[in-house]
Amino acid sequence: MAELFRRYGTTLTLAMAAATFVWVVMMVVLPYFVMVEYSFHRNLTVSELGGPKDVYTLENYASLFRGTDLSAFEFSDDFRVFMRTIWGSAAVTLVCLLVCYPVAYYLAKIAPPERAAFLLVLLVIPFWINEILRTFAWFILLAYNGPLNVLLKAVGIIDAPVRWLSGSGGVIIGMTYAFLLFMMFPLYNAIETLDRNQVEAARDLGASTWKVHWRVVIPHAKPGVAVGCIMVFVLAASSYIVPYLLGSPGTRWFTQTIYEWFFEASDWPRGSAYAFILLGLCVAFIMVMMKLFKVGLTDIAK
């Protein structure tokens, strides 16, 4: 601090500190705390505030699991949505990884530099376009009488149009498209740093293509895989627009449940509790990935 005063003088330093305080405390830290504190409240009317019912409770958290009976395989609605969000996001993450890996490897290690640079620019263009528009494009493509069904029918792959948008399939297809590039770039960056000689050496020593990837390229690309998976999973789990546009009432996402508790049921404490659970899910996933891939926070920040 003393250094700052010497360098910028009193007025400027105080102004800087005040501005930073407004941001860090009033816009970041306090809102988090207030949200968490709020999630332990009951949803009370104004007249009940301060009364005997106004105490801290775990009810809002427990309500996610209420009605769940594992032995009978019965789950509450909210819990089912929560589970769907987890496996759906995990599926999107895995599909993104599988789709991106060959492209990232090609761009990083096979393509001549000029072509790689050109293809990278091509990749970035859809990335600049708003997520809503990218999702909307699939809404048109996957419509019952839409171009995809028309094409598949003309080619003879299907006999009758497929209802793409009535199951979780549409949501997963849309999310894969929307978040693909968040997997591509970490993967590309990680593979790019691999010395080509290592691949050559493995090949000279008789390793098959499969083995070269499994034993040389993928271990080297681990930090990229971890970062890509973290980005895609967190984006998918907290996405609202993709399930909103491409889902149906039977394929709701946890973000939609949270939205409903806030603005349709007006139960803000429960909405806050669910929001905190969603945040917990994302943090848990990040920790698991870091442990699994043995990468640190500094690798992620890169």
Sites for other proteins among residues 80-109 (CB under 8 A): 99, 102-103, 106
Is residue 288 a contact residue for other proteins (CB under 8 A)? Answer: no
Closest approach of other proteins to the CB of residue 297, in Å: 8
Question: In the set 177, 179, 182, 188, which binds other proteins (CB under 8 A)?
Answer: 177
Q: Please tell me the distance from the alpha carbon of residue 229 to that of residue 146, in angstroms, as a whole number.
A: 31
8-state DSSP, 57? -
- In the block, residue with structure tokens 């549409």: 170
Closest approach of other proteins to the CB of residue 73, in Å: 30
Judged by CB, which is closer to other proteins: 147, or 219? 147
**How far is residue 147 from each of residues 50, 138, 139, measured CA to CA in Å?**
59, 10, 11
* Stretch of 59-67, 71-79, 127-135, 198-206 contacting other proteins, by CB under 8 A: 127-135
Judged by CB, which is closer to other proteins: 142, or 190? 142
Judged by CB, which is closer to other proteins: 27, or 70? 27
User: Taking the CA of residue 110 as centre, how many other CA atoms within 13 Å lie in the half-sphere pointing to its CB?
Assistant: 9
Closest approach of other proteins to the CB of residue 257, in Å: 11
How many CB atoms lie under 10 A from the CB of residue 139?
A: 17
Residues in the chain: 302
Question: In the set 62, 133, 288, 292, which binds other proteins (CB under 8 A)?
Answer: 133
Closest approach of other proteins to the CB of residue 39, in Å: 9
Find out whether 172 and 93 touch, Cβ atoms under 8 Å: no
* Number of residues this chain uses to bind other proteins (CB under 8 A): 79
Positions 185 through 214 that interact with other proteins (CB under 8 A)? 209
Q: What is the dihedral of CA 260, 265, 268, 269, to 10 degrees?
A: -110
Is residue 45 a contact residue for other proteins (CB under 8 A)? Answer: no
Is residue 117 a contact residue for other proteins (CB under 8 A)? Answer: no
Q: Please tell me the distance from the alpha carbon of residue 144 to that of residue 30, in angstroms, as a whole number.
A: 47
SS3 content of the chain, % helix, strand, coil (to 5): 75, 0, 25
